[in-house]
């Protein structure tokens, strides 16, 4: 079955702002979500992502700014007059109605014909046909999640909003639901806007991710773009992990920016250098850092540093994670795949580290080096 709306319209937020009595949740947000994409709003709790979602759903009235669906403005439209449906964080299934009636709720309100048939098809899509007569509290978390999805999807909304829909599920179930959600989105071709604080979840499912922090969007792009070329320290730290090493720009010519990093000259491609003068943070992802016992050749031209000592080794099966103390007193993370090419290095081993210049990025020194670092890490 195809639910795809032929007249797919993009969702556009313009200068959207929401102020509460004591703080500003969303600050002049501009955002365009193309029709038919899986879009993720990613950020830590309190970053304004859920408020943004609720404004799109009509459950929160913006302080200023506009929301458009195609050419229609829906900023102040009542929630029940918008072609938008929501999968709530706690599912919000109606406890007094059975699964069939929960899913049928939206269709019945719009006096659609042939409700029973559509509900059956929708329950088949989420593989719950046999549970139609049950009440929500009788079902497991994963099943309730699928009912909530079915209840929203059956209305063929132009935009489906998902508010941390997998937050209440355990890890294993979450993984399989991620794949499931992505499959359903591809199948029905609707626009999904997904709010989450789980970067892995966002990267697994979304075509485009907008990383939000403090009510504004820090950076927007495909998961690979955000990961490989973060524009702020927040994105670099929140999306995966990063080594951020202080340095200062010595020259910026053509498409290469050269940086002096504690006496080592490193070069960074201009399109990955987000400052071209003064001090900055040289960023490199831990899995891009190659290490080898001191003096042994490393397969990586340029950006070669010596004098490191391994201070910590964690073996995590597929990879080994090293902490390397560099001569300038900073510990760098280096993740190495356990290909079996070489034995795991011991703590205390003297090592050289290196990375290919095209993997490094440069961020302005004015940004907080610890922004977006997860507390438990």
Residues in touch with other proteins (CB under 8 A)? 57-59, 78-80, 84-86, 88, 90, 92-96, 105-106, 109-110, 135, 137-138, 151-152, 155
> Residue 17: enclosing H or E segment and its boundaries?
strand 11-19
CB of 264 to other proteins, least distance (A): 55
CB of 169 to other proteins, least distance (A): 18
CB of 126 to other proteins, least distance (A): 16
Q: Identify any residues that bridge with 282 across adjacent strands, giving them in sequence order.
A: 245, 362
CB of 14 to other proteins, least distance (A): 23
d(CA 87, CA 105) in angstroms, rounded, equals 14
CB of 209 to other proteins, least distance (A): 24
CB of 72 to other proteins, least distance (A): 17
DSSP string, 184-238: HHHHH--EEEEEES-HHHHHHH-SEEEEEETTEEEEEE-HHHHHHS-SSHHHHHH
Nearer to other proteins, 130 or 339 (CB): 130
- Are the beta carbons of 363 and 274 closer than 8 angstroms? yes
Cα 100 off chain centre by? 33
Cα 204 off chain centre by? 8
Residue among 350, 328, 122, 173 at smallest CA distance from 245: 328
Nearer to other proteins, 157 or 215 (CB): 157
Nearer to other proteins, 134 or 175 (CB): 134
- Are the beta carbons of 178 and 149 closer than 8 angstroms? no
d(CA 186, CA 360) in angstroms, rounded, equals 34
- Residue 46, token pair as written in the block: 């309190």
The three-class DSSP label of residue 272 is helix
d(CA 94, CA 79) in angstroms, rounded, equals 18
CB of 74 to other proteins, least distance (A): 13
| Contact partners, residue 179, CB within 8 Å, separation at least 6 | 204
Nearer to other proteins, 110 or 113 (CB): 110
Nearer to other proteins, 157 or 372 (CB): 157
Nearer to other proteins, 107 or 203 (CB): 107
Nearer to other proteins, 26 or 159 (CB): 159
CB of 122 to other proteins, least distance (A): 13
Nearer to other proteins, 135 or 258 (CB): 135
The three-class DSSP label of residue 75 is coil
Planar angle of CA 214, 216, 222, nearest 5 degrees? 115
Nearer to other proteins, 95 or 340 (CB): 95
CB of 148 to other proteins, least distance (A): 8
Sheet holding 64-69, edge to edge: 24-33, 11-19, 64-69, 72-73
Q: Identify any residues that bridge with 249 across adjacent strands, giving them in sequence order.
A: 259
């Amino acid at each position: 079955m195809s639910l795809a709306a032929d007249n797919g319209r993009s969702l556009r937020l313009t200068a959207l702002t929401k102020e509460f009595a004591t703080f500003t949740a969303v600050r002049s947000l501009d955002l365009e979500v193309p029709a038919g994409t899986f879009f993720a709003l990613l950020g830590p709790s309190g970053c304004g992502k859920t408020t943004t979602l609720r404004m799109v759903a009509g459950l929160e009235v913006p302080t200023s700014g506009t929301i458009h669906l195609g050419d229609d403005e829906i900023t102040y439209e009542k929630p029940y007059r918008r072609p938008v449906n929501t999968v709530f964080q706690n599912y919000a299934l109606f406890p007094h109605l059975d699964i069939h009636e929960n899913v049928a709720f939206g269709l019945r309100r719009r006096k659609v014909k042939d409700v029973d048939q559509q509900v059956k098809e929708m329950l088949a899509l989420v593989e719950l046909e046999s549970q139609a007569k049950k009440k929500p509290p009788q079902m497991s978390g994963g099943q309730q999640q699928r009912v909530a999805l079915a209840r929203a999807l059956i209305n063929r909304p132009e935009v489906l909003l998902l508010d941390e829909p997998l937050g209440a599920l355990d890890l294993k179930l979450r993984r399989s639901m991620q794949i499931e959600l992505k499959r359903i989105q591809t199948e029905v071709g609707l626009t999904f806007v997904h709010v989450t604080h789980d970067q892995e979840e966002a990267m697994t499912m979304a075509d485009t991710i907008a990383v939000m922090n403090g009510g504004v969007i820090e950076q927007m792009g495909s998961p690979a773009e955000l990961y490989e070329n973060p524009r702020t320290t927040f994105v670099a730290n929140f999306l995966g992990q990063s080594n951020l090493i202080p340095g200062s720009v010595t020259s910026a010519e053509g498409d290469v920016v050269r940086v002096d990093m504690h006496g080592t000259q490193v070069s960074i491609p201009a399109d990955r250098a987000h400052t071209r003068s003064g001090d900055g943070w040289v960023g490199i992802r831990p899995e891009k850092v190659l290490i080898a016992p001191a003096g042994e050749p490393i397969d990586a031209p340029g950006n070669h540093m010596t004098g490191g000592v391994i201070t910590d080794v964690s073996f995590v099966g597929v990879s080994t994670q090293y902490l390397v103390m560099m001569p300038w007193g900073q510990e760098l993370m280096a993740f190495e795949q356990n290909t079996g090419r070489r034995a795991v290095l011991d703590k205390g081993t003297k090592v050289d580290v290196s990375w290919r210049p095209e993997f490094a990025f440069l961020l302005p020194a004015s940004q907080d080096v610890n922004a977006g670092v997860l507390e438990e890490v």
